[in-house]
Chains A and B, each alone.
Chain A
């Protein structure tokens, strides 16, 4: 089936987020793949919120432009989004508030009248809207009623029933007044079980599975939900989650935990990350494993806190004074977020250095379908690879920064009786003591740099190729979350007879020239796709690989890049 796009809009503070998530869970439980996206201003009340849910019987990588069903909880929703409606789009509205002026399938639902009659609060308009939407799509209320039950069961059976009657009222109204318009496309289908989960929640889940013991953060949109989710799970996971006084305390606390021998991580967005930068350098020279979750939002400074951008790639890559190894991973989908988070913890331990997992608002806050089976398999099978972490020295004297071929030294968990050592932010000798000697300095710099070569040989992964690179007329180059829109653009271009391929990078830094260059030096038309204004990955490729991509599709208005823009770029 074609993707179906359902969208709801209303005043901020009136439950749009919860309602959108519920709709996603309902269609997921009915056996469909979902992708949703929330737009909200950086306010608690008084702005305009919208929530898009795209669903299909095949995985959804990106939202399409046209809206199939627009639920207007206020007039602003209609005014703001009517240009995305077509003649066969449903518009759900209350004639007490406005009447849509256009040739759509207009579905009048008397939200206000139902509220008055059933003595409901304004927020219950959402439940009426869900009931009406499900009726129009030919589904029943069983799953919605179940979700309402889980949401309100703590408040008692009466509250559950009170809320359920609003869903029923919306549903009944459609059956009574608009039966002819029912389009039965949301029929239950068999599909492997999917989780409805955001990028942040996926990072949190994978961190728990990876045995992260200490998560430290200071709230910052769009990374904050990692903190709240992990804090909420502490009793089940045994993780200690600390909300510290500032981001500098955050990262140094995690460094302390990691130094003591437990897997530790931090999460933030650009501004908080900026405060952490000196300490990333500390972790680099002291060779302390650390996972840093960086969810980007448009900057500079406070920027546009609740919108999306890939504007911090070069900042992440270059974060920290001095020269030291650092690994930057950028998942482009929910599956990749899950797998790369698990890998990030292993890499941090193996290379004893900071590893950054780069997300953005689009990936962090959108729900997508994640195979439940994949997650359950990892829960059963994942075993942390702690690298050269040891509980007792293999020989005396123990040398924390011993020169080795791969650049990695055995890391002794502090507390072993009979030994001691220091982790030093100063340049140091093999035993950790401070030094300013020329030869010792060179040795330690070379040892740390050697880790990059070892990484290239052992763990670096080049771009994923989507499509046939040899047959393709156009090769898109993407990293992180632009993967989804590009995938959908490729499907659209295929229908137009254009053969394309996508080179999707997840291991964005460091980049192995030997592995990457062959993909980028073919006599082909390359188009770079990035959600920023400077084409930062293009710059990075020029710096690290020595290739320049001249054609670019860039978007930097805080909105995710769309497949339509990418399709258009091919014909211009």
Chain B
């Protein structure tokens, strides 16, 4: 039986009190509880404080480019769909620089679990505004306050066809572990947006801010009802943060709809050597 220790790499360099610690611990716990090992998961990391988890978690992994963790994961999954594939990135990385990939991965229902650290600032570059920041938020890049309204990750995911959309709070690790396990077991594109205070650069969206404004979705909430889900996503604009599975739907994943990899993965396929038929196009 594996333990969290098997997944534990280097000592993290995150700031004391940062929400990343809880998210990192929750990811490792969820993987252990699902019986996975560092050899049968693939983690694709973005660039940022969250991406730095690459050195702190043991697994097959890619620490790629800012904004591009998702397409790397898509390619990996197409080549070897037997590996559990996970994206770990931050809000600026995933919703800003890589926003286009997010929209299209959701509509493709790629079997990838995206765990997004949403702290509403750029931590690693010392505190500029992120696309999820509240309108008016003052930062190094927006001294007069950001003009845009916040990007709505959950609403976008639901609208674009993601089949598992959830929100968690880094201050409640046990709840986060449960949601991550559900997301990792879901077949198709899952988004877990984790609200995470940045203790160094964000003095507004603090632990107490989220404790006051977040709430767990009640047991009677029907996550399969897309209209209800869309209503929930709009609460962002009232600074209310529902926690739990916002939306869930069973649909075939992208790789399941490619007939040439129905039986074996691309990696394990038998090499075809009869291309003579192709030549008929050229005579």
Contacts and interface: CB of A to CB of B under 8 A. Distances in A.
Interface in A423-482: 423-426, 433-434
A415 B60 contact: yes
Contact of A252 (B42, B54, B58, B65): B65
Given A195-B279, A208-B278, A237-B275, A423 B63 contact: yes
A162 interface: no
Interface SS of B by simple majority: mixed
B54 A434 contact: yes
Contacts of A250: 71
Contacts of A255: 62, 64, 72, 75
6 closest A-B pairs (Cβ-Cβ)?
A256-B75, A260-B79, A252-B71, A253-B75, A422-B61, A414-B60
A396 interface: no
Given A197-B282, A209-B275, A418 B62 contact: no
A361 B55 CA distance: 45
Contacts of B39: 415-420
Which of B39, B59, B258 has most chain A Cβ within 10 Å?
B39
A81 interface: no
Interface in B43-82: 44, 47, 52, 54-55, 58-65, 67-68, 70-80, 82
B40 A417 contact: yes
A264 B80 CA distance: 13
Contacts of A379: 273-276
A421 B64 contact: no
Interface of B: 9-10, 37-40, 42, 44, 47, 52, 54-55, 58-65, 67-68, 70-80, 82-83, 100-101, 103-104, 258-261, 266-267, 269, 271-279, 281-283
A245 interface: yes
Given A238-B272, A245-B101, A379-B276, A260 B54 contact: no
A244 B78 contact: no
Contact of A256 (B37, B62, B258): B62
Contacts of B260: 234-235, 238-240
A372 interface: yes
A82 interface: no
Given A244-B74, A244-B104, 8 more contacts: A214-B75, A248-B100, A256-B72, A257-B76, A259-B72, A414-B80, A422-B62, A433-B9
A415 B40 CA distance: 5
A417 B37 contact: yes
Interface in A252-311: 252-262, 264, 278-279, 282, 286
A75 interface: no
B62 A415 contact: no
B54 A262 contact: no
A335 B282 CA distance: 15
A241 B261 CA distance: 12
Contacts of A135: none
Interface residues of A, number: 68
Contacts of B261: 240
B65 A425 contact: yes
Nearest to B79: A260
Contacts of A25: 283
Nearest to A204: B278
Nearest to B10: A433
Contact of B54 (A211, A264, A424): A424
Contacts of A216: 75
Contacts of B258: 240
Contacts of A196: 282-283
Nearest to B68: A252
Interface string A204-215: 010011010110
17 contacts: A201-B282, A209-B275, A213-B267, A254-B75, A256-B74, A256-B76, A257-B75, A257-B78, A257-B266, A258-B79, A259-B62, A259-B76, A376-B276, A379-B275, A414-B83, A417-B39, A422-B62
A486 interface: no
A253 B269 contact: no
Contact of A213 (B269, B276, B277): B269
B272 A195 contact: no
B63 A240 contact: no
Q: Which of B258, B259, B267 has the most CB of A within 10 A?
A: B267
A248 B71 contact: yes
